[in-house]
């Protein structure tokens, strides 16, 4: 029983971190209409900055630089590449992002080489025990930080002027600009927010108990894509729930791999996609997606 | 003479670098006045407002000559955001509220540029004073409001910045007569609070009532200007924009397009009935449509309750009633977009209410939409050809291989589409990309697409919304011509009373989802219940 609970707790923590990444996909998509396949390399860039700077400036300063750097990278991609494409087919922007992802990933892989740059254990290497559940402190903290960030996002979108402007711009950009809302600003804000969230997720994914920053960290963003899609593409809540579903399913598949050995090893890696396919079979527009049910 | 708050000099605007939408337009709005711009569809009214609010770019337009000055400041190098901050706000055509945002958040988005929280609060209070219904429904999503409430929300949203000049694009579009009066009163009230207003209004009677001055725009140029009283007294304006009074049923009124037109403003071409021959490729006949005890519920809301009516084969039947009465819902059930909760619809001996939309289309039932639903990037001709889908016989393979049979069919189809376009007066638009068309022209393309399907029953949801009186007369003639030539039945939903009364043989009046009256136009117009619920006091006078 406690094994199951431990796996569940691990899954929830992982799922919340995936949620941070998936929310970034949603925000970029609603703010600028782009399927941001470069999200993974932005995440890696942020984590890389933190790991490289950490020995010289200390963890907190490095984290601040890494988060700001990833946000800035997102803003740059948007300003240089995406804004010029405003009139083009959304498919063009998606393919362009794949290209950006490959370029960034290649450059980061070249810099990292065969190393795994240690992120260390900024929150210590001990574990918390609670009701028979044993979880590394860092994982518990990751979950806590993610929840706090989600609450902050809710506050941003529901209560602040900027957040309401971002939602208005996402709903109908042309009309929003008639209200004096600058679409270039809301777009940049979306990309910055997504980049920052990705970098924070990257820090948690690369620090203890994980060994450190390697190019494979970028792949975790791919696990967030099913979370994003099954949540419903344009829903922040959906992305969070999607992250949780994928996280828990993955953790259970990994935790019970021995029992599931008929399915072969490494089953956990395909679980996100399997879950996505199952959800979309039942609900084609995702768990929380807008159903395009317009009044005719 | 008071200072002008807005001056437009010799303005020219082109779309996609080619289509000239405005040429040499000059106008002025004096501080503290209300100015109306009248004109037919495609005359460039919306283009003018978009040029002023610096939002032409989003629709592919650009100012090619002339200047616009707001409070003395040249707007040439200013963007939409600057203009709003300077106190000039536009409420766009078709309301365009944020449907998924609550009423309150819609208003907050409108007040985005106001940095001072206290000022924002005061503006919100003023808006709630002006539109108490918005305060009542502040936590509801905008998309759940009725048409009239959505218009109030669009106006309230624009007022959140406390603008000095408010641009309103067709505030009465698609609203019931009673609500049109109310919107007119509200504009007068906004004006009384010190805001200058530049108003585009298809309902010329309302526009001229609230405005001090008016301009008439025709084919991208100013055709007439003057005080509202002067213009209202002009014969040409009366014929083309004001029309006959609502109270007089205009069964055989002469088409206004025959009236002498101003020399530089050609009247829309009136189709000569009989000159255009639309042949049917199949010999289907219209059948009787019977709606029995139709009830439709969405969640907890009952949109239609036990509605029954019968449309005889080959007749024109109108559904009228206030916004939110359930008229569009009814059309949507007949066309298969919505499902009936209970009750039945029979078309001849077929039960419609259980069929999917494409099977209903196969039965020869075609429709137009209230919120226009066209492929915006395709040409008008292609949009019309889509309507031919039902009658085209060549398969995908023979079309792809361009076999002679398919080519022959395509030629024949293009001819058929051309005839339909000629009938509706949109022949010259066939090659235009649909997104460059005005609202009213899009309405005509929609009707054309529906006609292209060679229907036996035509469902028209507000076919003349956003059209001038002259244009709606032309539209009525076109509908009557096809109806007689093809012997089809027509069900139409419309707020333009002269149009309904001149065209329909029978009228069903809905209010709050219930049928409150049915009869000939003459009977319905005298029904006290209908006057109370829908037509309002002015029509009764």
Q: Could you report the per-residue pLDDT of B398-457, keeping only the tens digit for each?
A: 777 777 777 888 888 888 888 888 888 888 888 888 888 877 788 888 888 988 888 899
Q: Could you report the per-residue pLDDT of B13-24, keeping only the tens digit for each?
A: 998 777 788 999
Q: Could you report the per-residue pLDDT of B304-328, keeping only the tens digit for each?
A: 999 999 999 889 999 998 877 888 8
- Among A44-48, B170-174, B202-206, B255-259, which stretch is predicted with the lowest mean pLDDT? B255-259
| CB nearest A180 (choices: B91, B101, B113) | B113
Using CA atoms, how far apart are residues A177 and B179, in angstroms rounded to an integer? Answer: 28
Using CA atoms, how far apart are residues B204 and B206, in angstroms rounded to an integer? Answer: 5
* Residue of B17, B50, B95, B98 to mutate when probing chain A, most A C-beta within 10 A: B98
Closest approach of chain A CAs to the CA of B6, in angstroms? 18
- Among A24-38, B361-375, B499-513, which stretch is predicted with the lowest mean pLDDT? B361-375
The 10 Å Cβ neighbour count of residue B408 is: 11
Using CA atoms, how far apart are residues A52 and A62, in angstroms rounded to an integer? Answer: 8
Q: Which chain A residues are within 8 Å of B59, Cβ to Cβ?
A: 174
Degrees, nearest 5: CA angle B435-B81-A161: 110
Does A193 have pLDDT greater than 90? yes
Mean of the per-residue pLDDT values for chain A?
89
Does B269 have pLDDT greater than 70? no
Residue predicted with more confidence, A267 or A224: A224
- The closest of B491, B507, B474 to B253, measured between CA atoms, is B474
Using CA atoms, how far apart are residues A247 and A11, in angstroms rounded to an integer? Answer: 5
Contact A128, A10 (CB under 8 A): no
Mean pLDDT of B106-125: 93
* Residue of A158, A172, A179, A182 to mutate when probing chain B, most B C-beta within 10 A: A179
Does B110 have pLDDT greater than 60? yes
CATH of B4-98+154-242, one of 2.60.120.380, 3.30.70.20, 3.10.310.70, 3.40.50.300: 3.40.50.300
Q: What is A2-125+137-282's CATH topology?
A: ABC transporter involved in vitamin B12 uptake, BtuC (1.10.3470)
DSSP line for A117-156: EE---TT-S-EEEETTEEEEHHHHHHHHHHHHHHHHHHHH
Does B158 have pLDDT greater than 90? yes
For CATH 3.40.50.300, the residue range(s) in chain B are 4-98+154-242, 289-364+455-540
Contact across the interface for B369 and A176, Cβ inside 8 Å? no
Mean of the per-residue pLDDT values for chain B?
84
pTM above 0.90, yes or no: no
Q: So where are chain A's domains?
A: 2-125+137-282
Query: In the prediction, which pLDDT does B7 show?
Result: 95
Q: Which chain B residues are within 8 Å of A177, Cβ to Cβ?
A: 55, 58, 80-81
Where do runs of H (alpha helix) occur along B53-116?
A: 80-85, 103-110
Mean pLDDT of B469-494: 85
Residue predicted with more confidence, B155 or B353: B155
Degrees, nearest 5: CA angle A120-A126-A129: 145
| CB nearest B96 (choices: A175, A180, A296) | A175
Q: Could you report the per-residue pLDDT of B342-384, keeping only the tens digit for each?
A: 999 999 888 888 888 888 888 888 888 776 778 878 888 888 8
Q: Which chain A residues are within 8 Å of B157, Cβ to Cβ?
A: 179
Closest approach of chain A CAs to the CA of B253, in angstroms? 33
Q: Which chain B residues are within 8 Å of A237, Cβ to Cβ?
A: none
Angle of helix B380-387 relative to helix B404-424, nearest 10 degrees, comes to: 110
* Residue of B80, B86, B151, B460 to mutate when probing chain A, most A C-beta within 10 A: B80
Is CATH 3.40.50.300 correct for B289-364+455-540?
yes
- pLDDT band at A292, cuts 50/70/90? very low
DSSP line for B468-517: -HHHHHHHHHHHHHHHHHHT-EEEEE-S-HHHHHHH-SEEEEEETTEEEE
Query: In the prediction, which pLDDT does B264 show?
Result: 41
- pLDDT band at B222, cuts 50/70/90? very high
Closest approach of chain B CAs to the CA of A73, in angstroms? 26
Mean pLDDT of B290-296: 92
């Amino acid at each position: 029983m406690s094994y199951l609970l431990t796996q569940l707790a691990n899954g929830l923590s992982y799922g919340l971190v995936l949620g941070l990444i998936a929310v970034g996909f949603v925000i970029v998509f609603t703010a600028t209409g782009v399927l941001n396949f470069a999200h993974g390399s932005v995440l890696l860039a942020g984590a890389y900055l933190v790991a490289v700077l950490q020995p010289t400036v200390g963890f907190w300063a490095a984290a601040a630089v890494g988060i700001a750097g990833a946000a800035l990278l997102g803003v740059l991609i948007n300003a240089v590449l995406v804004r010029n494409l405003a009139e083009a087919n959304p498919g063009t922007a998606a393919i362009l992002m794949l290209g950006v992802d490959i370029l960034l990933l290649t450059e980061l892989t070249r810099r990292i080489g065969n190393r795994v740059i240690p992120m260390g254990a900024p929150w210590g290497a001990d574990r918390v025990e609670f009701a028979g559940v044993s979880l590394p402190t860092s994982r518990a903290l990751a979950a806590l930080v993610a929840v706090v960030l989600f609450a902050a996002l809710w506050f941003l979108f529901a209560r602040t002027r900027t957040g309401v402007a971002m939602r208005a711009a996402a709903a109908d950009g042309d009309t929003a600009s008639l209200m004096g809302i600058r679409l270039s600003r809301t777009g940049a804000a979306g990309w910055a927010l997504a980049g920052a969230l990705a970098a924070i997720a990257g820090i948690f994914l690369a620090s203890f108990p994980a060994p450190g920053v390697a190019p494979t960290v970028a792949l975790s963003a791919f696990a967030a894509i099913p979370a994003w899609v099954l949540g419903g593409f344009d829903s922040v809540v959906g992305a969070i729930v999607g992250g949780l579903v994928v996280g828990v399913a993955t953790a259970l598949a990994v935790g019970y791999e021995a029992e599931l050995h008929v399915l072969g090893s490494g089953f956990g890696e395909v679980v996100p996609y399997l879950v996505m396919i199952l959800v979309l079979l039942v609900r084609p527009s995702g768990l929380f997606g807008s159903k395009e049910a317009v009044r005719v | 003479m008071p200072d002008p708050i807005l001056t437009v000099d010799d303005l020219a605007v082109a779309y996609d670098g080619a289509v000239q939408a405005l040429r040499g337009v000059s106008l002025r709005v004096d501080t503290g006045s209300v100015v109306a711009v009248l004109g037919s569809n495609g005359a460039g009214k919306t283009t003018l407002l978009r040029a002023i609010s610096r939002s032409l770019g989003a629709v592919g337009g650009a100012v090619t000559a002339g200047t616009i000055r707001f409070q003395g400041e040249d707007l040439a190098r200013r963007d939409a955001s600057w203009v709003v901050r300077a106190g000039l706000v536009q409420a766009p055509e078709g309301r365009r509220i944020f449907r998924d945002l609550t009423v309150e958040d819609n208003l907050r988005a409108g007040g985005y540029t106001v940095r001072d929280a206290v000022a924002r609060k005061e503006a919100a209070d003023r808006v709630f004073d002006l539109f108490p219904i918005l305060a009542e429904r502040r936590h509801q999503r905008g998309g759940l409001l009725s048409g009239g409430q959505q218009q109030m929300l669009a106006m309230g949203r624009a007022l959140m910045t406390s603008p000095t000049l408010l641009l309103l694009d067709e505030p009465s579009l698609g609203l019931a007569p009673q609500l049109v009066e109310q919107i007119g009163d509200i504009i007068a009230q906004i004006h009384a609070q010190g805001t200058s207003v530049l108003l585009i209004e298809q309902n010329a009677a309302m526009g001229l009532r609230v405005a001090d001055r008016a301009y008439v725009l025709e084919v991208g140029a100013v055709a007439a200007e003057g005080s509202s009283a002067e213009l209202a007294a002009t014969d040409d304006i009366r014929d083309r924009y004001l029309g006959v009074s609502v109270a007089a049923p205009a069964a055989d009124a002469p088409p206004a397009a025959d009236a002498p037109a101003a020399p530089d403003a050609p009247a829309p071409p009136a189709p000569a009935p009989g000159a255009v021959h639309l042949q049917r490729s199949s010999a289907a006949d219209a059948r009787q449509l019977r709606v029995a005890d139709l009830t439709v519920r969405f969640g907890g809301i009952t949109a239609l309750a036990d509605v029954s009516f019968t449309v005889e084969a080959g007749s024109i039947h109108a559904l009228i009633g206030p916004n939110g009465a359930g008229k569009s819902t009814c059309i949507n059930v007949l066309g298969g977009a919505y499902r009936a909760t209970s009750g039945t619809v029979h078309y001849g001996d077929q039960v419609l209410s259980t069929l999917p939309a494409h099977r209903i289309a196969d039965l020869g039932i075609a429709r137009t939409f209230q919120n226009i639903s066209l492929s915006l990037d395709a040409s008008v001709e292609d949009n019309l050809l889509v309507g031919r889908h039902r009658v085209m016989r060549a398969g995908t393979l023979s079309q792809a291989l361009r076999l002679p049979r398919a080519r022959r069919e395509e030629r024949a189809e293009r001819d058929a589409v051309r005839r339909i376009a000629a009938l509706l007066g949109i022949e010259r638009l066939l090659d235009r990309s649909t997104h460059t068309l005005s609202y009213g022209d899009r309405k005509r393309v929609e009707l054309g697409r529906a006609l292209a399907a060679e229907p036996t029953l035509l469902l028209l949801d507000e076919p003349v919304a956003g059209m001038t009186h002259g244009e709606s007369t032309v539209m009525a003639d076109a509908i009557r011509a096809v109806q007689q030539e093809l012997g089809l039945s027509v069900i139409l939903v419309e707020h333009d009373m002269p149009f309904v009364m001149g065209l329909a043989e029978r009228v069903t009046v809905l209010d709050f989802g219930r049928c409150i009256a049915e009869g000939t136009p003459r009977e319905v117009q005298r029904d006290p219940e209908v006057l109370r619920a829908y037509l309002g006091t002015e029509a009764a006078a």
